[in-house]
Amino acid sequence: MNYNSKAAFCNGESSPNNSSHGEGSPLRSSLNLKLKSTAPTLQCPMCQYTSLSPGELEEHINRQHFDVTSPSVGHLTGEIFSCPLCIKTYDSAPDLELHVNIEHRDILSPASPSTATCPVCGISLNNDSDSEEAVRHVESHFPAGSPIQLDRAAIKEREQREFEMLRAQYGMDNQGNFREQSVTNMQRAVYAGEMSVADYYERTLGLKAAESYGIDDGSSITRNMVPRVRALSSNAQNVVRTLTCTCVDHYASSYGDRGWGCGYRNAQMLISSLLTHTGYNERLYKLWQGQKPPRSAVPSISRLQNLIEQAWANGFDVQGSEQLGSRLVNTRKWIGATEVVTLLSFLKIRCQLVDFHRPTGPGGTHPELFRWVLRYFENSVGGEFVAPLYLQHQGHSRTIMGIEVHRDGSLVLLVLDPSHSPQQMAQIGDTTTGSSALRVLRKSESAMKAKQYQIVAVVGFIDSEHQYQQSKILRGLRVPQDR
């Protein structure tokens, strides 16, 4: 599996000739989430939200900040003093001088004498004594909230939080699975007055049945998105052309997968579309392995985890399997684009994995991605079936259901996001709020500024044994093919 996301991207590169084992995917190594905090509580690096729970902060970031779409906040006005030896900056020259004297003492004075001097009070400090004791002496000259002490505390806090987030990303935090998280969060909803006791027991029974049969319980579905979106988009004054997939249902994150399940939910959206096509339906129906569910049944998250494990056991994406310990069932491990390719290839559905490995426009934009999506839907015009596209970037994934061409020539993606609730999706079908609600689906170039993206496109069937064996090695197309 390549992790971009696990939603995270990887820095590994491949040649333009589509390297094997997914080495061209940006999902393999860029897994750490760059969080910053200067307070003892856990604070979101993108807004003022704070929490004492790493899990709640993780959920907040995935749900509220799934795409870093705006440039970093500019520097505050006033002179900034940058350290010449590292990347830190300070608001005053004395703070910078103190930082250099303490943090870079070994560089400035490599042949230091046997005694050192406190840079604040001037007393001699024995180099043979505990370095931590010397640091404590220097820090004793400053109030608890001084920049130096806050820097140290922030670094320690950030490292611990990043470690915990990575453990969660790889499912090593022992925080349970889909069923356990569902029950826990529904109990919290009852305590908070967001769910009645009767609803709790009804949902619990439905969850048990769904997990038993491996079929999604349908609690987060908004069906038939395409007709409503196409009607609203086509009637917009500034839209000259609207191209969409044939059909798709929206699957929202639920009590059991908030904070980690976006990859599975987008896989369900893609499967919901494929099930309406006779050929793809036949391939997907084989996943039930002797069970006789309805032909329209969409597998649950737990069943998807089991299927990906089966694909790994059959030799698909060996590197990705090893990276996740060959285990997904009963974990909260994230999946990304490569797991979706692995799943569908295992079911003999042919996919194309496209890596948009760097911005191709001004301001960190991706015009090549938009043009590629336009060609995909244009080439499908007149065809009997067009599947949606699975879209992955660092920390999150979504589903592209279509694209708009505006009068000024600009392109706007129509994107379904698991973090949007069924209530938000229902508004799109409301004649009074539909036009404004459609804004949550529209993504212009300026709103798509992640460093890297991946797209999974369904492009046909795997018909021969040779093709099936070849599909076990993940290959991606790099756009642009400049290195």
Query: Hey, which residues are catalytic here?
Result: 262, 396, 417
**Separation CA 107–CA 109 (nearest Å):** 6
Burial degree of 465 (CB within 10 A; 0-12, 13-18, 19+): exposed
The helix (run of H) or strand (run of E) holding residue 399 is: strand 396-406
**Separation CA 262–CA 398 (nearest Å):** 7
Transcribe 217-264 into DSSP letters. Answer: --TTEE--HHHHHHHHHHT-TTEEEEEE-S---EE---TTTTTT-HHH
Nearest 5°: phi and psi at 256?
-85, -15
* Maximum CA extent, the chain: 83
Tokens for 299, please give them: 């597998």
2 vs 259, 303, 342, 392, 425, CA distance in Å? Answer: 19, 20, 11, 11, 30
Helices (H), 24-145: 54-64, 93-103, 105-108, 131-139
Tokens for 113, please give them: 């004498």
Contact call for residues 179 and 185 (beta carbons, < 8 A): no
Q: Which of 259, 260, 293, 291 is nearest to 275 (CA)?
A: 293
* Residue 441, helix vs strand vs coil: coil
**Residue written as tokens 């029950």?**
183
Contact call for residues 375 and 385 (beta carbons, < 8 A): no
Q: Which of 250, 273, 272, 245 is nearest to 262 (CA)?
A: 250
Q: Which of 276, 261, 176, 180 is nearest to 220 (CA)?
A: 261
- The amino acid at residue 98 is L
**Separation CA 352–CA 460 (nearest Å):** 10
| Residue 215: strand pairing partners | 299
**Separation CA 342–CA 317 (nearest Å):** 7
Q: Which of 262, 260, 42 is nearest to 166 (CA)?
A: 260
Q: How many CB atoms lie within 10 A of CB 148?
A: 18
